[in-house]
Chains A and B, each alone.
Chain A
């Protein structure tokens, strides 16, 4: 790990800086803190929205991130925030370290692991934030490591899956991946051998393990329901991956290309590799996920590092001079040069760090809290409305909890922000009397022309419109 540690250290500083400067009042963190507080006070995890969501009061809810919510509550400010944010920064670092260690155990060389760590770190940069899905990255790395164990330690994967399911619904991956690894193992062993039997047991146990949380069977059911959930179309992270995702181009794509370049019987599927089908099935599945949604970029890298780097090592190994091909000689300088270029890139990134924009409508919502009356609020970015949760006399149309809101609410939300021809009648039919938008956006411009509404607040970033008496 001597080279990989160096690479990981560079990324650790980047993650830590980003985490500490991440806005403590982020909209998602706000409702997660409220969730944590509610759990701590009542000792019960809520299973439905409250009356504060006027578009869908008491709609069923699976607050999958409940444990993260409790942590977020303890880390809401001051030193607590620094510890909490720092712990979140450690998550990708731990994931990288585990994946690299896993790669070394599989016989990868130091150089290959360093190349893998560089790609992995770059793949994580874009998705990184103080968020629950980031916190579970090391659990995925641990899960893959445990599945690779050829002994009783493999059963640790079941415990990891159970723990994972209390942090994030992505734990649904655990039984799926374990099942695929079992199938691959069966192909590798050409039968239902000892290892395959063990993996099949683990896969079956993981099905139960992901129900070991306050939601039981509802968690996997919720995760399965996400497959055809239309809200994915409106969340940036779920968009289909392409060249405009820097983490994909700089991190995951090189790993994928390396996997393709070193796939086949000579390396990834080499006869000496006794888990070649397992590797291929797992890598193929995560490659499919990678190309399906940008949020899977980091996850792919975590899984790919231990599989790709041993194959790369075979190519990088020292050969007798007579056996060296021109491609070998090219690789001898091209790979270090590539790693150096990536290091420069990361250095430039570090130098250009600026605190992220808050992206939160604190000021207009603070102004609204001082206004008399009942406010039924529509936020152009639904995460902003999280700040209105728990505020007296304020209810929200849609907030950062997002998932539990029914499909028709989402469709109406989209119609309003896209100024569909029915947008005004939807504002009326839902009884919305307050709209928070970003300045100069289409909705802001349309609201300015909307009779029956008046501008109640504006600053350089946000505007807040309320219904006039005539518009009520």
Chain B
């Protein structure tokens, strides 16, 4: 008996030591990852256009106690055009945070990032254990460059990650929570449109993996609930249409907005997206393979359609790969890695670190191009502005009613004729000069290295009045 129990005792001792070392390593890795995410957020560039638009829309709601459902005098090409007040709640929240100070906005962004990656970790942990869950966070994080800044898209990732976590285990509670979450998301941003699509993927997954009758029923209810949530916004029936336009997936917008991943999120696409695909090749979709395909494929297609969604692909697909890794390498699941108390302590440490970093992080300078638009908004003169990059005009409209623009970043609200003229002018096609004359454009913010900029500089009556590393402002002589 002694001979039989002694080796087992040594094995137990070795296992305990391994577990102890693994637990300490895990906690260190956990804290290091959280610190990286928080630091990445603190020093990421701000999405100036989205912040300015939120300021414009949120300010309208807070000052006038009404949601702007139509374009106003801030545009001279389509005043009165229906915009649906898309993202009004998010705009109000952003404006309140901005009024409180840059630190508050930054802290909120850090929390959104922590929530996004925490739910990636929690979802991956269910299938693959804690170590592989950390790996999933690293993979998802590699898709984050470009999304971590204020209004950079991390909020979308957070909503997607939480929703995926809720929907993965279908139940009545999950269906209700998902519906409520979708209602909030739809009012916060146009990306709320993704909620029923994500729910549909999980419903398909539940069906394909042969879930129980209850699971299938509640996953379909979640699908229905999130779909109905699309109607719970001020735009009501118009929300899906206008939100779809706002997501910038429509290929008709070529030349008006950028959506190629390599243009929108080059680092995230080259590193994160590629790493996810290569990890997918290496690991395969092993656990509930048929069930994982719809979510993985749909999220990847979304990222390929608009680089802004590479991060959404990351947070949705990384846990799937962790589950595959767990099936391939069950060893990781056996590693003991700490406790709930340790997780809570790590989470508190991450939030404290975020708060500490907020105190030292300086407000970033406005990005080139946007800064020129901001100077127009504040110079006290009237301008009819054409922006080469429509997002620059998001900043310019804060000077309304003195400043009005040809088109701004709310592309879904502008008639197709206006967007077509915008495209013509940028590409110097189809009587573009007469379009400028017809709309009485007197100020143009143009990208420095483009043919249009040279042509305007050669045109009589126009002269450059300001420039930075990205853009130049041209004004008609009559304006000066």
Contact = CB atoms under 8 A, between A and B. Distances in A.
B290 A266 contact: no
A138 to B, nearest CB: 25
A80 interface: no
B228 to A, nearest CB: 27
B260 A261 contact: no
Interface string B260-281: 1110000001100110011011
Contacts of B210: 325-326
A283 B283 CA distance: 13
Nearest to A325: B210
Interface string B278-291: 10111111100111
B260 A327 contact: no
A457 B197 CA distance: 56
B233 interface: no
A291 B277 contact: yes
B438 interface: no
Contacts of B293: 257, 261
B286 A327 contact: no
B285 A260 contact: yes
A147 interface: no
Nearest to A263: B284
B449 A420 contact: yes
B422 interface: no
A241 B182 CA distance: 33
A242 B209 contact: no
A240 B282 contact: no
A264 B451 contact: no
A262 B297 CA distance: 13
A351 interface: no
Given A242-B262, A261-B293, A330-B290, A287 B281 contact: yes
Contacts of B274: 288, 291
Contact of B458 (A259, A264, A449): A449
A242 B208 contact: no
B460 to A, nearest CB: 10
Given A243-B304, A264-B324, A327 B290 contact: yes
Contacts of B300: 257
Pick the most buried of B251, B269, B273, B284: most chain A CB atoms within 10 A of its CB.
B284
Contacts of B16: none
Contact of B278 (A239, A264, A284, A330): A284
A426 to B, nearest CB: 12
A421 interface: yes
Interface stretch (A69-77, A359-367, A439-447): A439-447
A419 to B, nearest CB: 4
Nearest to A444: B428
Given A240-B269, A445-B428, A423 B454 contact: yes
Contacts of B304: 242-243, 249
A419 B451 contact: yes
Interface residues of B, number: 46
A91 interface: no
A331 B450 CA distance: 50
Contacts of A440: 429
B128 to A, nearest CB: 13
B277 A326 contact: no
Contact of A260 (B273, B277, B449, B452): B277
A267 interface: yes
A263 B290 contact: no
A419 B301 contact: no
Contacts of B284: 260-269
B207 A326 contact: yes
Nearest to A328: B290
A301 to B, nearest CB: 15
B114 to A, nearest CB: 29
A256 interface: yes
Contact of A330 (B208, B324, B451): B208
Contacts of B282: 263, 269, 280, 284
Contact of A284 (B261, B281, B285, B455): B281
A108 B231 CA distance: 49
Given A288-B278, A326-B209, A421 B289 contact: no
B327 interface: yes
Contacts of A421: 454, 457
Interface in A233-289: 239-240, 242-244, 249, 256-257, 259-269, 280, 283-284, 287-288
Given A325-B210, A446-B455, A243 B285 contact: no
Contacts of A443: 451
A319 interface: no
Given A261-B293, A264-B285, A287-B281, A446 B209 contact: no
A290 to B, nearest CB: 9
Contact of A243 (B305, B449, B450, B457): B305
A327 B209 contact: yes
Interface in B122-173: none
Contact of B291 (A327, A418, A446): A327
Given A263-B284, A443-B451, 7 more contacts: A240-B269, A261-B285, A261-B293, A265-B327, A325-B209, A327-B208, A418-B450
Q: Shortest 4 CB-CB distances between A and B: which pairs?
A: A327-B290, A264-B284, A263-B284, A442-B451
Interface of A: 239-240, 242-244, 249, 256-257, 259-269, 280, 283-284, 287-288, 291, 325-328, 330-331, 418-421, 423, 440-443, 445-446, 449
